[in-house]
A = this chain, B = another copy of it.
């Protein structure tokens, strides 16, 4: 017999800008921006809509979008982990059919410019992310970042690897190591200050990347993940996905130029892709939907 399997639905990529205009004693006209991309995903008792098109249990994705905007107006945004939690809890508690809601958010950074209090430039730094999953009883909070592009121009080797018939790569004791960090870390307990916890995790990742003398990108990945767990006791596990953004030393001998390892060709594709989890050994496994 053919049946409905696991399913979910929601509104993806609600692009929302919240301007906080609250004057303070120190900055009577200084604005603050929250520039978000919000995705809502709901699951629960939705067999009927698949089987018969009965929409009576379906909260429209349009209403989900409205809710995102309304909550930003009514409650403000604040830290994206809090904003995601507020929304996820709302959908589960207010819709009988919804047994699990996941709200994932990307936040784009802005920095004040021009001294006007209302002028900003996009930082272009990495994108901060958060995802909160709520099932009516429990919540899972995953913070993260992506597009944090890092490069070491020294301190990276790659040698002693396995060799088979198809292995032609030369060993090296000095290569460029570059990656675009995609990291997500799951909190066993809420951080006391989500914003500070984020900045600390980001700085920890950068420092570990920079300070690890690398024999492989896997080793660097582990060092980065381990550093975050050591620094933040409330983080239970971290997942890292690190593309190896290859920079190949250009051989200029054919045209009589001594290249001395200073000029590299940055290749788009193909690229190595290293993915791994670093976790505490006493962590209970969680469902993959949480990530």
**Known pairs A3-B278, A62-B167 / 19 extra A-B pairs, C-beta < 8 Å:** A1-B280, A6-B276, A9-B275, A9-B276, A16-B265, A49-B216, A55-B162, A59-B162, A63-B166, A66-B166, A69-B263, A70-B252, A95-B164, A114-B206, A114-B210, A119-B155, A123-B125, A124-B147, A165-B255
- We find that the number of chain A residues with CB closer than 8 angstroms to chain B is 143
Query: Which A108-160 residues sit within 8 Å CB-CB of chain B?
Result: 110, 113-126, 147-155, 158-160
Q: Does A8 contact B (CB under 8 A)?
A: yes
Question: CB-defined interface of A2-34 with B at 8 Å, one 1/0 digit per residue?
Answer: 111111111111111111110000000101010
Specify which chain B residues have a CB less than 8 angstroms from the CB of A125 in the assembled complex. Answer: 123-124
Contact B166 A149 (CB under 8 A): no
Contact A169 B63 (CB under 8 A): yes
CB-defined A-B contacts under 8 Å, sample of 28: A1-B281, A2-B230, A2-B278, A2-B281, A3-B280, A5-B279, A6-B277, A8-B276, A13-B271, A14-B269, A15-B269, A17-B247, A17-B264, A19-B261, A19-B262, A52-B215, A53-B216, A55-B160, A60-B161, A61-B270, A66-B167, A69-B250, A114-B211, A119-B210, A119-B211, A120-B152, A124-B124, A288-B288
- How often does this chain occur in the complex, in copies? 4
Name the distance in Å between A205's Cβ and chain B's nearest Cβ: 10
Instruction: Evaluate whether A51 and B168 lie within 8 angstroms (CB atoms) in the complex, with A16-B266, A33-B153 already known.
Output: no
Q: Does A192 contact B (CB under 8 A)?
A: no
Specify which chain B residues have a CB less than 8 angstroms from the CB of A277 in the assembled complex. Answer: 4-7
Instruction: Evaluate whether A210 and B116 lie within 8 angstroms (CB atoms) in the complex, with A162-B56, A281-B1 already known.
Output: yes
Specify which chain B residues have a CB less than 8 angstroms from the CB of A244 in the assembled complex. Answer: 61
Interface centre among A4, A35, A125 (most CB of B within 10 A): A4
Q: Does A199 contact B (CB under 8 A)?
A: no
Contact B264 A16 (CB under 8 A): yes
Residues of chain A at the chain B interface (Cβ within 8 Å): 1-21, 29, 31, 33, 35, 39, 41, 46, 49-67, 69-70, 72-74, 94-95, 97, 110, 113-126, 147-155, 158-169, 176, 206-207, 209-211, 214-216, 218-219, 221-222, 226, 229-230, 237, 243-244, 247, 250, 252, 254-282, 288
Name the distance in Å between A84's Cβ and chain B's nearest Cβ: 16
Measured CB to CB, the nearest residue on chain B to A217 is B9
Contact B263 A17 (CB under 8 A): yes
Name the distance in Å between A169's Cβ and chain B's nearest Cβ: 4
**In the complex, which of the residues B57, B95, B122, B270 contacts A65, with contact meaning CB atoms closer than 8 Å?**
B270
Specify which chain B residues have a CB less than 8 angstroms from the CB of A221 in the assembled complex. Answer: 50
Specify which chain B residues have a CB less than 8 angstroms from the CB of A281 in the assembled complex. Answer: 1-3
Contact A272 B18 (CB under 8 A): no
Name the distance in Å between A190's Cβ and chain B's nearest Cβ: 21
Name the distance in Å between A246's Cβ and chain B's nearest Cβ: 9
